[in-house]
Amino acid sequence: ANPNSPSGTMISPGEISKIASQVDGVLVIDEAYADFADNNCLSLVEQHDNILILRTLSKSYSLAGIRFGFCIAQESIIQGMMKVKDSYNVDRLSITAVVAALDDQKTMRANVEKIKETRQYLAQSLQELGFYVYPSQTNFILAKCMRGVSAHHVYQALKSRKILVRYFNIRRLDDCLRITIGTREEVEILLRNLKELISNNHAKSKVAYCP
Ligand SMILES: *Cc1c(COP(=O)(O)O)cnc(C)c1O
């Protein structure tokens, strides 16, 4: 996945191109988050007959409910896929919605720009609170908790306040929270609650601190 989830980080098209040259087989690049990034690998399709790019309407186009994605590759790969494709096609209502959405780049770009502005604001605010923030090219931020603060406890405390962020009980991620960029108002509510939980006053914020 490039940009990647849950890190939010991205590998440059130059690096991907090198990998594609070295791979003996098809390199599938999941670009679900590409519209939120500064760059993408679309142009590599022309140079590499073994690159296959996946896109979805579920993220930047806000159309997760129509269940539509597509892929971009050279004709030889697409022909191979057609050989094994099921006879059932995408439904007509989804196609109609997708065509309308793709025709309206302006709405998508406006939403993406709003999300990127809020992403910048959230990243800076989290850093000021003491989190380590991984550079995000997506519509979420991966933030590492400061020493002594349990990400799991913060996650649970936020959840009890009806604020849902993602916690991964996985090695190397269990000190992090993945936070989707909401509206500016939602981000303000999150930050207000995080400040309460992670205030320097240990007595007041037992919830957030490890013993
Ligand atoms: C959301 C997402 C997809 C695609 O989701 P669909 O709703 O099934 O189109 C693919 N890859 C990643 C990494 C995603 O986050």
pLDDT digit string, tens, across residues 45-104: 999 999 999 999 999 999 999 999 999 999 999 999 999 999 999 999 999 999 999 999
Ligand 1, atom 9, lies closest to the CA of 56
Q: Residue 206's beta-bridge partner residues?
A: none
Strand order, beta sheet including 27-30 = 27-30, 51-56, 69-72
Question: Which token pair is 109?
Answer: 């770009």
> How far, in Å, from the CA of 10 to the mean position of ligand 1?
16
The answer to whether residue 8 is domain-embedded is no
Choose the final residue of a domain: 77, 103, 129: 103
Domain count, the chain: 2
pLDDT value at position 199?
79
Q: Which amino acid is at 100?
A: A
Choose the final residue of a domain: 60, 87, 103: 103
- Clarify whether residues 140 and 120 are in a common domain: yes
Distance, C-alpha 129 to centroid of its chain: 22
- Clarify whether residues 67 and 119 are in a common domain: no
Is the CB of 64 inside a 6 Å radius of any atom of ligand 1?
yes
Whether 204 shows a pLDDT value over 80: the answer reads: no
- Clarify whether residues 136 and 175 are in a common domain: yes
Interior/surface letters 96-132, b for 16+ CB within 10 angstroms, e for the rest: ebbeebeeeeeebeebbeebbebbeebbebbeebebe
Which atom of ligand 1 has the smallest separation from the CA of 54?
Answer: 10
**Ligand 1 pocket mutation, candidates 59, 60, 71, 136, criterion most atoms within 8 A of CB:** 59
User: How much of the chain exceeds pLDDT 70, in percent?
Assistant: 94
- Clarify whether residues 114 and 170 are in a common domain: yes
- Clarify whether residues 185 and 129 are in a common domain: yes
Q: Which amino acid is at 63?
A: L
> How far, in Å, from the CA of 34 to the mean position of ligand 1?
11
Whether 16 shows a pLDDT value over 90: the answer reads: yes
Choose the final residue of a domain: 103, 119, 148: 103
**Ligand 1 pocket mutation, candidates 2, 52, 56, 70, criterion most atoms within 8 A of CB:** 56
The answer to whether residue 3 is domain-embedded is no
Q: What are phi and psi of 83, to 5 degrees?
A: -60, -35
The answer to whether residue 210 is domain-embedded is no
Whether 203 shows a pLDDT value over 60: the answer reads: no
Whether 201 shows a pLDDT value over 70: the answer reads: no
Task: Give me the domain span that covers residue 30.
Answer: 13-103
Whether 207 shows a pLDDT value over 60: the answer reads: no
Is the CB of 178 inside a 6 Å radius of any atom of ligand 1?
no
- Clarify whether residues 112 and 32 are in a common domain: no
Which atom of ligand 1 has the smallest separation from the CA of 30?
Answer: 11
Residues whose CB falls within 8 Å of the CB of residue 96, separated by 6 or more in sequence, listed in order: none
- Clarify whether residues 172 and 191 are in a common domain: yes
pTM for this entry:
0.92
